[in-house]
């Protein structure tokens, strides 16, 4: 297994002592220095742009979460009210049953009274009055039950609507996953991908264009120019990204196996081998990204070793060191 070690790109002291003679003897040194400064500026601008977009996205997510929490609290209160109404409904139903039983009892007593001759009329009027009062009370209870039934139905509908709103709000948080939060603005963007640790760019020109290695960043090198595409092509959907060559989008970056240490390849593989989650290694890595393979769950990492051109680019388990963090340098965004 590859040992994860942070590396620094500072030149050796001996390199500094030889710098004047190299610049003096190399006619292209001034041009190379200007190009390096341009590349550094592009990387700094890209990091700044990504930070601004992340800050705006985080603010939107906070607002959505606050609104979601408010809706959840409303649902909680509505459910409590719903339970209270159900208890009232049960009490009223029990009262109706009791009144029905009382009515039957009164009717029995009335029938008995009618059969008695002495004071039959007085007794009958008394029982009829009691029956009339009982019927009125029962009618009142029925009206209350009808009103409560309507209220319960209305509140049940409101509760369903609130639950639907919560579902909608939760679906608006596609970037909440730490491992797949690259903004949708990068869909169809033309980019270069530079390692954060030693500023070597992904280059898809190794072994006749079948493998990827780390090479000095060069804007004029087509092997280092890629296009990012989100599978659904729609914002707000938490799905996969593909990383393809700009000059041939059928040739995509992928890992062909789960074992760590496998080299990053270029082609048209089966399944999800060329599908990627693009996210942040941690909150401390603002402006850099990690690439997680959807098929195997391994990450793109620059192999350990001397910081020279041609470094192997391999699969590895999750790591938040510099070798596994990459700066996405946008060249153009889709209009």
Q: Which of 94, 79, 63 is nearest to 169 (CA)?
A: 63
Alpha helices in the chain, H assignment, sequence order: 13-25, 29-115, 120-171
Distance CA 142, CA 40 (A): 80
Residue 271's SS3 state is coil
pLDDT at 26 (0 to 100) = 59
Q: What is the pLDDT of residue 170?
A: 44
Q: Residues 77-97, buried b or exposed e (16+ Cβ, 10 A)? A: ebeeebeebeeebeebeeebe
Q: Which of 261, 185, 168 is nearest to 229 (CA)?
A: 185
Q: What angle do CA 112, 117, 123 make, to 5 degrees?
A: 60
- pLDDT of 57 reads 85
CA distance 270 to 190: 24
Residue 286's Cβ-side half-sphere holds a number of Cα atoms within 13 Å equal to 11
Instruction: Quote the CA–CA distance of 77 and 213 in Å, as a whole number.
Output: 58
Measured torsion, CA atoms of residues 209, 213, 214, 216, in degrees rounded to the nearest 10: -30
pLDDT per 10-residue tile (average), the chain, 335 residues: 42 47 61 88 89 88 89 88 87 89 87 77 83 87 86 82 58 54 95 92 96 96 98 88 97 97 97 96 86 96 78 91 93 88
Reduced to 3 states (helix: H, G, I; strand: E, B; else coil), residue 289 is strand
pTM of the complete model beyond 0.85: no
- Bridge partners of 191, per DSSP, are 226, 330
- Beta carbons of 237 and 182 less than 8 angstroms apart: no
Of 192, 167, 173, 229, give the one whose Cα is nearest residue 38. 192
- Asked if residue 209 lies in contact with residue 251, where contact means CB atoms within 8 angstroms, the answer is yes
Cβ pair 316, 297 in contact under 8 A = no
Task: Write down the pLDDT at residue 288.
Answer: 93
């Amino acid at each position: 297994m590859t040992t994860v070690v942070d590396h620094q790109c500072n030149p050796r002291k001996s390199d500094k002592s030889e710098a004047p003679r190299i610049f003096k003897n190399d006619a292209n040194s001034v041009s190379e220095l200007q190009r390096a400064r341009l590349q550094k500026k592009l990387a700094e601008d890209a990091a700044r742009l990504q930070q601004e977009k992340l800050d705006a996205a985080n603010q939107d997510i906070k607002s959505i979460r606050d609104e979601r929490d408010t809706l959840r609290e409303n649902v909680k209160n509505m459910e409590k009210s719903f339970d209270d109404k159900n208890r009232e409904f049960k009490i009223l139903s029990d009262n109706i049953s009791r009144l029905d039983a009382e009515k039957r009892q009164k009717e029995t007593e009335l029938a008995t009274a009618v059969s008695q001759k002495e004071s039959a009329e007085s007794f009958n009027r008394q029982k009829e009055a009691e029956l009339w009062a009982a019927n009125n009370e029962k009618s009142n209870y029925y009206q209350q039950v009808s009103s409560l039934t309507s209220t319960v139905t209305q509140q049940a509908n409101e509760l369903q609507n609130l639950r639907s709103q919560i579902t909608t709000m939760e679906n608006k948080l596609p970037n909440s996953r730490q491992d797949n939060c690259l903004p949708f603005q990068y869909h169809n963007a033309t980019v270069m991908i530079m390692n954060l640790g030693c500023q070597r760019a992904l280059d898809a020109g190794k072994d006749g264009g079948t493998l990827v290695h780390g090479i000095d960043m060069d804007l004029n090198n087509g092997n280092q120019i890629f296009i990012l595409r989100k599978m659904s092509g729609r914002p707000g959907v938490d799905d996969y990204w593909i990383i393809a060559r700009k000059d041939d989008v059928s040739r995509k970056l992928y890992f062909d196996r789960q074992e760590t240490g496998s080299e990053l390849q270029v082609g048209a593989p089966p399944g999800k081998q060329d599908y990627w989650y693009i996210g942040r290694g941690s909150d401390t890595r603002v402006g850099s990204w990690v690439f997680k393979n959807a098929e195997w769950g391994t990450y793109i990492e620059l192999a350990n070793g001397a910081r020279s051109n041609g470094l192997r680019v391999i699969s590895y388990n999750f790591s938040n060191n510099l070798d596994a963090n990459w700066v996405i340098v946008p060249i153009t965004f889709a209009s």
